[in-house]
Amino acid sequence: MSTTTVTQSVPTAETLLRLFPDIDTSSAELEGHDAEQIRLMDEVCIVLDNDDNPIGTASKKLCHLMTNIDKGLLHRAFSCFLFDDQNRLLLQQRASEKITFPDMWTNTCCSHPLGIPGETGSNLPDSVAGVKRAAQRKLDHELGIKKEQVPFEDFHFLTRIHYKAPSDGKWGEHEIDYILFIKANVDLNINPNEVQDTKYVTADELKALFNDPKLKFTPWFKLICQSMLFEWWENLDSGLEKYTNEQEIRRM
C-alpha cells in the first residue's frame, strides 16, 4: 500500500471515521482526572496500520480508550532507556495524576511522537529521527533533562515492539513502540505532574525490584525486560551495534 507522510494538513477526522466508523469520541472517561493530564490527552498521536505505516492522526485520548483499541486503533510510541556512566539505568515512577498506568515504575521515559513537523515519518529512517526528537522533548518535559545533555546523534535505535496492554477497564495501550538507548550523565528537574520518583539501578538491582510485591511496573517495561533488555544492557559498551536498527517489528 502507498503511504504519505503525516502532516497537520491530513484530513484526520475523516480518515479515522472512515476506518473506524464507530470510534468512541465521548469525553466522560476524563471526568475527575487531573486538569493538566486531561489537557495532554488532546495531543495528536500518529495512527498506524499493522506495518507501522501512518494512516492518520488521532488524539491521545482516542488512542488510549480500550473501546477504540479493541477496534484495532494503533499508534506510534517510543521507550527511552537512559544509562549513566556507570551503566546504571534511570527508572521513573509515574505520577498518581497520570490517567494511564499511574504510580507504576517504568523505564526512563515513555511517550509518543506527535503528528507535528519533525516527529512524523512514513519510512523507517524518518520515523526513527522523529522519535528521537520526541524523546528529547519528553525527557525535558517529564524529567527536566535539557536537549544539550541528550544530543540527537547519541540516541541508538534498537527495534520496534508491537504490543497491546490494558491499564484499567477504560484505558490501555496499543502501540508500535520504538526502543531507544542513550548513555549520558544528566541533571534532573522532575515535573511532579508526570513523575513522582526516580532511581538509578544496575541490572541486578532491577531484577531484585521485580521480586518486590509492593512495586508495580508498566506492561511494556516488563515485556522489554522479559525479552531483550538485559542482553542489550550487557552489550551497552561493546557489541550494541549488532542489536541496533532492526528492520522487523517484534510482535509481542
Residues that are catalytic: 110, 175
In the block, cell 479515522 appears at 16
Q: What single DSSP character describes residue 91?
A: E
Helix (H) or strand (E) holding 249: strand 249-251
DSSP-derived 3-state class of residue 157: strand
Name the grid cell of 237.
559498551
CA–CA separation, 177 vs 64, rounded Å?
Answer: 14
Name the grid cell of 192.
511532579
DSSP-derived 3-state class of residue 176: strand
CA–CA separation, 168 vs 188, rounded Å?
Answer: 30
Contact 72, 48 (CB under 8 A): no
Name the grid cell of 206.
532491577
Residue closest to 125 by CA, chosen among 5, 240, 224, 250: 5
